[in-house]
């Protein structure tokens, strides 16, 4: 079980480890350079996982990028590859 903060940290780690697999359009828009979409997509297709470090270098603010990815897909998408759901919610008063 993870706290909310731990879940955020884990989701961000997984996002940054898999940025190579993101939609090229999303990446290009998030970095403010939509004209690079085709170049990013071509590099992703050619290098697959090997494109991760180069794509990360295009991203100025990785925290903002991660927040946008979580906002677009939900945190569960990155934490639960099986079904994209986060699972349990536990609250204490």
Helices 4-17/62-73 angle, 10° precision: 100
The dihedral through the CA atoms of 86, 72, 23, 26 has a sign that is: negative
- Which residues have CB under 8 Å from 10's CB, separation 6+? 2, 78, 79
Residue 3: the pLDDT is 87
13 within a domain of the structure (yes/no) = no
Spatial distance between the Cα atoms of 22 and 77, rounded to a whole number of angstroms: 12
53 within a domain of the structure (yes/no) = yes
Give the range of the structural domain holding residue 47, as residue numbers without chain letter: 22-71
Mean pLDDT of 81-86: 62
Q: What is the pLDDT of residues 35-77, one digit of tens each?
A: 999 999 999 999 999 999 999 999 999 999 999 999 999 998 9
How many separate domains does the chain show? 1
Residue 2: the pLDDT is 83
Spatial distance between the Cα atoms of 41 and 15, rounded to a whole number of angstroms: 17
């Amino acid at each position: 079980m993870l706290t909310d903060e731990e879940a955020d940290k884990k989701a961000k780690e997984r996002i940054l480890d898999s940025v190579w697999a993101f939609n090229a359009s999303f990446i290009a828009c998030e970095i403010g350079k939509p004209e690079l979409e085709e170049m990013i997509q071509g590099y992703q297709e050619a290098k697959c996982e090997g494109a991760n470090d180069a794509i990360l270098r295009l991203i100025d603010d990785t925290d903002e990028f991660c927040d946008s990815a979580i906002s677009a897909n939900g945190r569960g998408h990155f934490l639960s590859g099986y079904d994209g759901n986060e699972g349990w919610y536990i609250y204490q008063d």
